[in-house]
Chain A
Amino acid sequence: MKHNDLNIGMYKEDIMELYKNPENFGEIENATHKHTEYNSFCGDEVTITLLVEKDKVKDAKFSGSGCVISTVSSTLLTSKLRGMKISEVKRLTKNDMLKLFKVKINPARIKCVLLPLEAVRGTLK
């Protein structure tokens, strides 16, 4: 019954599982970095907290409310951040984010994928 190539897999089972049970959800109490980013177009909101020690991300969490794509993107990104150097975090690109998904993201939803990255960039400003 599926027709639209761009979307196939965007809502596959493991992505839906990650949405229902997000990892790294919450706020780090002794966070060194914190920023909230909004997408006023859809009402999504994501807060990123980081614990940075010796220029390395020791812990990363996210909170807020969002769609499947932005929530899953937040889980995947916070997982990736742990252990990364700040200089590496600063170099993360749109493509790095899209690669996290391993499925094609419909162009209309790329903003959702990028929202947590925007929040992370906000923490480093």
Chain B
Amino acid sequence: MKHKKDFPIFESQKGLVYLDSASTSQKPKQVIKSIVDSYETTNANIHRGIYDLSQKATKKYEDSKKIIAKFIKASEKEIIFTRSTTESINFLAYTLPSILSKEKDEIVLTEMEHHSNIVPWQQLAKRNNMRLKFIRVKDDFTLDLEDAKRKINEKTAIVSLMHVSNTFGTINPVKWIFNLAKKHNSITVLDAAQSVAHMKIDVRDLNCDFLTFSGHKIYAPMGIGVLYGRRDLLERLSPFNFGGDMIKSVTLEKSEWNTIPERFEAGTQNIEGAIALGEAIRYLEKIGITKIGKWEKDLIDYAAKELIKVKGIKIYLPRNHTGILSFNVEGLHSHDVASMLDDYNICIRAGHHCNMPLMKRFGITGTARASFALYNTKEDADKLILAINEVTRKLNNSSKRDQIKEIVRKVK
């Protein structure tokens, strides 16, 4: 694929090898142009202007919802704009309790969750006297489905898990797990932050009650996220934020809520971000999401095949994976690896990846993580491989004792 040219960052930052798209993706000029267009041609507040400009802005905002809904096979009434995946999960942790039945008091997560899919539920459990259970992760970086069978039962109120691991790139068998959850009438929540840019998603096929992702990981701006909710469930949920635009009527004594999804979008929204997210998806779909996923996977498999040849490299790659290649260099902290790669203008993420329990599970302090997007090329992979070879050579060069004594002496 030849889409690097669509991303102005690679024009301004010559030689940049960006392998941190799982953290945040770069933005194509189509998306950047959309933001500029919003401010230059249709900037007005939505839903309340009588005048034409406001209606133009409203239409673009609503059109974006239609694009997003179609993208995940939902209806536009089921799409709520949030700030991010994190905010969406917090939204659910605060609003779901009102529709849970009393005899269900367990929340099932997995050991591989991002902190953002652990901490809000921990707080909910504390507030409502519920219990958390975690599906175990096996040594091959996949979920233990036998353990899932044990942990998901009639007491399970909510099952929330990530579609793709942000540390190992594992693609989780979501459909299987959610089918199991549905047998016990549990609410299913999917964190699609690491999958949505790499594979087709169909919320009905996966049996998701709720699904969330962040715009900035899918070539859209930061500060815009999506929460999908099944229509009948959204109808039953109370609002999360209260204020303007989410009401039908207000008196000094009480208020009536707006219909969905507006009921959940209080206050002025990130309008240009919402519109740009629609544009990002349009861009993605033009290229083809399946094609993008395959391109990235081929690059990862190629890089993994080459890196495994380097002495002292440990690779953490599950069989069924996407987007991410995690590894460690024996004898080096992952932060050192990332700093050393920075010398070669290669951007990777290192450390615990907001997965501290998962790191503990594998007895490591972190990993070096290279993540791939549609703009990455074989040349990027080759530069990574070359740099890792040089890093390990640097580490394994013979020592010079006298030289060390001299450095230490000079400290005095």
List 17 A-B pairs, Cβ < 8 Å. Answer: A2-B343, A3-B344, A4-B343, A4-B345, A10-B343, A11-B336, A16-B395, A17-B400, A21-B404, A42-B351, A42-B352, A43-B352, A66-B333, A67-B336, A68-B333, A79-B411, A80-B411
A-contact 0/1 string along B337-359, CB 8 Å cutoff: 00110111100000110000001
> Given A3-B15, A41-B351, A43-B366, are A100 and B411 neighbors across the interface (CB < 8 Å)?
yes
Q: Could you say which residues of chain B place their CB within 8 Å of the CB of A18? A: 404, 407-408
Considering the complex, give the chain A residue whose CB is closest to the CB of B409.
A79
Q: Could you say which residues of chain A place their CB within 8 Å of the CB of B400? A: 17
A49 to B262, CA, bound (A): 62
Q: How many of chain B's residues have a CB under 8 angstroms from any CB in A?
A: 29
The answer, yes or no, to whether B399 is at the interface (CB within 8 Å) is: yes
Q: How far is the CB of A93 from chain B (nearest CB, A)?
A: 16
A104 to B365, CA, bound (A): 25
Whether the pair A79, B394 counts as a contact (CB closer than 8 A) is no
> Given A3-B345, A4-B343, are A21 and B408 neighbors across the interface (CB < 8 Å)?
no
**CB under 8 Å from chain A, chain B span 370-405:** 394-395, 397, 399-401, 403-405
Q: Could you say which residues of chain B place their CB within 8 Å of the CB of A80? A: 411-412
B residues sitting closer than 8 Å to A (CB atoms) are 15, 332-333, 335-336, 339-340, 342-345, 351-352, 359, 365-366, 394-395, 397, 399-401, 403-405, 407-408, 411-412
Q: Could you say which residues of chain B place their CB within 8 Å of the CB of A17? A: 399-400, 403-404, 407
Q: How far is the CB of A110 from chain B (nearest CB, A)?
A: 12
Q: How far is the CB of A7 from chain B (nearest CB, A)?
A: 5
Considering the complex, give the chain A residue whose CB is closest to the CB of B407.
A14
Q: How many of chain A's residues have a CB under 8 angstroms from any CB in B?
A: 34
B-contact 0/1 string along A34-47, CB 8 Å cutoff: 00000001111000
The answer, yes or no, to whether A76 is at the interface (CB within 8 Å) is: yes
The 3 closest A-B pairs by CB, nearest first: A43-B365, A67-B333, A3-B345
Q: How far is the CB of A98 from chain B (nearest CB, A)?
A: 13
A residues sitting closer than 8 Å to B (CB atoms) are 1-4, 7-8, 10-11, 13-14, 16-18, 20-21, 23, 41-44, 66-69, 75-76, 79-80, 83, 100, 106, 108-109, 112
Question: CB within 8 A of A11: which of B340, B365, B407?
Answer: B340
Q: How far is the CB of B188 from chain A (nearest CB, A)?
A: 33
Q: Could you say which residues of chain B place their CB within 8 Å of the CB of A108? A: 339
A66 to B352, CA, bound (A): 14
Whether the pair B344, A1 counts as a contact (CB closer than 8 A) is yes
Extra pairs beyond A41-B352, A43-B365, A79-B408 (6, CB < 8 Å): A3-B345, A10-B339, A16-B394, A69-B339, A80-B412, A109-B335
Whether the pair A20, B335 counts as a contact (CB closer than 8 A) is no
Whether the pair B397, A11 counts as a contact (CB closer than 8 A) is no
A44 to B394, CA, bound (A): 22
Whether the pair B15, A42 counts as a contact (CB closer than 8 A) is no
Whether the pair B342, A7 counts as a contact (CB closer than 8 A) is yes
Q: Could you say which residues of chain A place their CB within 8 Å of the CB of B366? A: 42-43
Whether the pair B343, A11 counts as a contact (CB closer than 8 A) is yes
